[in-house]
Amino acid sequence: MKSILLTTAAALGFSALAAQAQMTDPEETTPRRAETAMSMRADRADFGGDGYTSTDGEVLYGTLCAGCHMPDGRGAVGAGFYPALAGNENLEYSGYAIYIIVNGQGGMPSLGHFLDDEQVVAVTSYIQSELGNGYEPDATVEDVEYSRPVDPADQNTKEHE
Amino acid sequence: MTELTRRNLLGMIGTVAGSTAMYYAMTSMGHAQPSSYKGPIKLDGDPKGAKVLILGAGLAGMTAALEMRAAGYEVEILEYREKAGGRCWTLRGGDTYTELGGATQNVDFEEGNYINPGPWRIPHHHYALLDYCRRLKVPLEVFVQKNFNAYVHNEDSFDGKPQRLRDIEIDYRGHTSELLAKAVDQGKLDEMVSEDDREMLLESLRELGVLNGKYEYTKSLEVSDYRGYEKPPGGGMNAAPVASTPIDLDKIVQSRLWEYLSTNYLQEHQNTMFQPVGGMDAIAKGFEREVGDLITYNAKVTSLQQDDNGVTVQWEDARGGGETRTSTADWCVCTIPFSVLNQIDHNLSGGLATAIGTMFYNSSVKWGLEFKRRFWEQDENIYGGISYTDQAIAQISYPSYGYQSDGPAVLLGGYTWRGSNSYKFNAMSPDERIEWALKMGEKIHPQYREEFKTGVTVSWHKVPWTLGCSGVWEGREGYDEAVKIDNRVVCAGEHLSYLPAWQEGAILSSLDAISRLHDKVING
């Protein structure tokens, strides 16, 4: 019961409540680590063999693309860089983004095998219209189908695991 | 038996010429697998003061630097990071790590505890790496890969209760031996098993499967010698052992826990495996002792250009500010990962340029979790080794050092390789990643929350100096072109080897690259 309460509290972002619940246990000399409050997206992450199941562009962006392009789409710079998607003129039309999402580019792996056509449309539409871009989404499942390689490489090789 | 079979021939060679000759004969017949490492490299001939510029002070770059300086070259190394080693990297208490996106983790481990976010174990047949460890006086200790007392765990099997690897593996072997033995005994495999082999095959199955006289794998003290006892043998009074009951075959098959058995049989996971004492970066430091004086740190390469006269590299201070600097040389060994090199202004050509532009880098995530005590040892008798799980963290590896010591210890709280789970973790903040590692890990070790002290997590797509864990070849099309010298530049690293993500691959790639480069310098 306690763990259910804590999980719910954490999911709602009420970390203070979670911490308070922790301290009611008199047995403990040092407080247990409260479950960390997580963003809604991280808390709902569904792991497992099915890969990505959401069809919501915002969720797909937040649980996949945001890792490198960052939650606000500003990209990142180190020895190399991840390009910003925010304010990116290449997103005015969907064709460019669809091709790269499906096939990858440079160091970016292809993601086409993780995402079905509808999911690619959803995430493309999200980055076109959100992240400060404000473009009219124009992606279609036919565009995605057309971008898919005839003979897709198997990315789930087990080497080195 | 007049036909001269391969085995007969080997027997004759062995008898007549001794075991050394037999070894070479076996090697030439493709029987024993030699390493491509031929011992310390010999770069004969005077390079007459030629200068080589090495980009990257990881294992490939420092191997090249060490050997080429010894061969008479003037050597300069540019390194993006503030220290040497690249992915040969260890995090300890007091270290700070900032990932792409800006999240900073201050590692709060106790003195002596550490985690290797990159390579963490060394197979006994990685001869080149082991030879450099010997030459650089890097002390090694045994890394425990397979531990029969560690767990295999699937959330939907055995009511989510982790099973000892021993029980699953020994029982699986026993039951399958029983099936095979009965089939042979009943003559069902007569078409495949000759009369000569039949009795000996049955004998071997009885022995390896621990079967009784009726070819049954069943509860007995003899079986318990392998799978453990209900009550173990003791001393004095009431000391007699009590046999344990094997798990039924159908339960093991349906559990899918057998999926975790084969990984320990990979040659690269076979005993003996090693780790450097105190952390993998002991290897980086060993190389740095030799070539550290050649390295310029915090140097972010922005341009790599070559023409018929030489190589020109522009770089700037990786910490920001300052003007663009220029380094020139006659030759260049470039070990910059292609994920980064692809974004540097370069005029490399041909198949090399194609590979640079198209190689993607895989994601991989690791966690180092420090707990207040070694509950896995104290409560569960697990000393080193790895538990495998269907949870997204994939595995938990217990430290192969400091056994039975008091106080906090660090275990590897998860290690994902490629796949959607890695991407999901990559998209989280470090705190969220650690929370998930605890959520999943506590299904195997209920002590997790109670004992957790601190943690650090490295998601390789967020590592600023590689943008990924290792280069991936989908098939090997273009490989032979990519490893060629392009005029004055040769590239090297794990990504240009058939041992991706292994340090051995980085070193073998480097040794091969500088051998060919040196040959070109000397012989044109």
Pick B362's closest partner by Cβ from A68, A109, A153.
A109
d(CA B332, CA B352): 14
Which CATH fold topology does B51-85+284-360+470-523 show? FAD/NAD(P)-binding domain (3.50.50)
> Is B303 exposed, middle or buried (CB count within 10 Å of its CB: 0-12, 13-18, 19+)?
middle
Q: Residue B84 carries which DSSP code? A: S
Residues A33 and A50 in one domain: no
Is residue A155 predicted with pLDDT exceeding 90? no
Domain CATH for A98: 1.10.760.10
Q: What is the pLDDT of residue A46?
A: 72
Within-domain flag for A119: yes
**A152 belongs to a structural domain:** no
Flag if B339 and A76 touch (Cβ within 8 Å). no
Rounded to the nearest 5 degrees, what angle is found at the Cα of B116, between the Cα atoms of B113 and B121?
Answer: 110
Asked if residue A74 and residue A15 are part of one domain, the reply reads no
pLDDT tens by residue, B236-278: 999 999 999 999 999 999 999 999 999 999 999 999 999 999 9
Give residue A127's domain range. Answer: 43-147
In a domain, A138, yes or no: yes
Contact A33 B475 (CB under 8 A): no
Task: Residue A66: list chain B partners with CB under 8 A.
Answer: 427
The reply to whether A59 and A136 lie within a common domain is yes
Higher local confidence (pLDDT), B31 or B452? B452
What is the secondary structure of B151-219 as a DSSP string?
A: EEE-TTSGGG--EEHHHHHHHHHHHHHHHHHHHHHTTTTTTTS-HHHHHHHHHHHHHHHT--TTS---S
Tell me, yes or no, whether A6 and A53 share the same domain.
no
Query: Do residue A34 and residue A81 come from a single domain?
Result: no
Count interface pairs A-B at CB distance under 8 A: 137
User: Domain-by-domain residue ranges, chain B?
Assistant: 51-85+284-360+470-523, 91-150+271-279+363-462, 164-250
Whether residue A30 is found in the same domain as residue A88: no
Contact B362 A62 (CB under 8 A): no
Strands B104-106 and B74-78: unpaired
The more confident residue out of A129 and B22 is: A129
C-alpha distance from A111 to closest chain B C-alpha (Å)? 9
CA atoms lying within 13 Å on the CB side of residue B23 = 5
Distance from CA of A137 to the nearest CA of B (A): 24
Q: Quote the number of domains for chain A.
A: 2
Q: Using the beta-carbon criterion (under 8 Å), do A66 and B427 form an inter-chain contact?
A: yes
pLDDT at A37: 65
**A72 and A126 fall within a common domain:** yes
Q: What pLDDT is attached to residue B474? A: 84
Nearest residue in chain A measured CA to CA from B452: A33
User: Is-cis flag, bond preceding B272, omega within 30?
Assistant: yes
Fold topology of B91-150+271-279+363-462 = Polyamine Oxidase; Chain A, domain 2 (3.90.660)
From chain A, pick out residues whose CB is under 8 angstroms from the CB of B462.
67-68, 76
- Do A90 and A110 lie in one domain? The reply is yes
Whether residue A50 is contained in a domain is answered as yes
> Which residues in chain B are closer than 8 Å to A51, comparing Cβ atoms?
419-420
* Residue B3, pLDDT above cutoff 60: no
B318 chain-A contacts, CB cut-off 8 A: 79
The pLDDT assigned to A41 comes to: 63
Tens-digit pLDDT profile for residues B72-123? 999 999 999 999 999 999 999 999 999 999 999 999 999 999 999 999 999 9
pLDDT tens digits, one per residue of A97-154: 999 999 999 999 999 988 999 999 999 999 999 999 999 999 999 999 999 998 877 6
Distance from CA of B226 to the nearest CA of A (A): 28
Which residues in chain B touch residue A68, judged by CB atoms under 8 angstroms apart? 100, 426, 461-462, 467
What pLDDT score does B38 carry?
Answer: 86
Residue A106 and residue A76 in one domain: yes
Q: Of the given ranges (B315-324, B379-388, B513-522), which has the lowest mean pLDDT?
A: B315-324
Domain B51-85+284-360+470-523 matches domain B91-150+271-279+363-462 at the CATH topology level: no
Mean predicted confidence (pLDDT) in B63-72: 98
Q: Average pLDDT for residues B26-39, to the nearest whole number?
A: 60
Tell me what the pLDDT averaged over chain B comes to.
94
Cβ separation B362–A64 shorter than 8 A: no
| Judgement on whether residues A76 and A122 belong to the same structural domain of the protein | yes
Determine the Cα–Cα distance for residues B220 and B458; give it in Å rounded to an integer.
Answer: 47
Q: What percent of chain B has pLDDT over 70?
A: 93
Mean pLDDT of chain A: 78
**Block residue for tokens 């595995």:** B395
Phi and psi at residue B334, in whole multiples of 5°? Answer: -105, 115
DSSP B58: B
A25, A54: one domain: no
Q: Nearest Cα to B163, choosing from B265, B262, B266, B251?
A: B251
Among 1.20.1440.240, 3.90.79.10, 3.20.20.70, 1.10.3720.10, name the CATH number for the domain at B164-250: 1.20.1440.240
Cβ contact B128:B497 at 8 Å: no
| A75 in a structural domain | yes
Whether ipTM > 0.85 holds is yes
Q: Which residues of B touch A29 (CB under 8 A)?
A: none
Q: Kindly report the pTM of this predicted structure.
A: 0.89
Whether A52 has a pLDDT exceeding 80, the answer reads yes
* pLDDT given at position B335: 98
Mean pLDDT of B449-459: 98
Are B300 and B80 a contacting pair, CB within 8 Å?
Answer: yes
Chain B residues touching A25 at Cβ < 8 A: none
Least confident of A104-113, B164-173, B424-433: A104-113
Is residue A57 assigned to a domain? yes
Asked whether the beta carbons of residue A156 and residue B419 sit closer than 8 angstroms, the reply is yes
Whole-number pLDDT of residue A49: 61
Q: Establish if A90 belongs to a structural domain.
A: yes
Q: What is the mean pLDDT of residues A51-58?
A: 93
- Please check whether residues A26 and A63 belong to one and the same domain: no
Note the residue count of chain A. Answer: 161
Q: Is residue A78 part of a domain?
A: yes
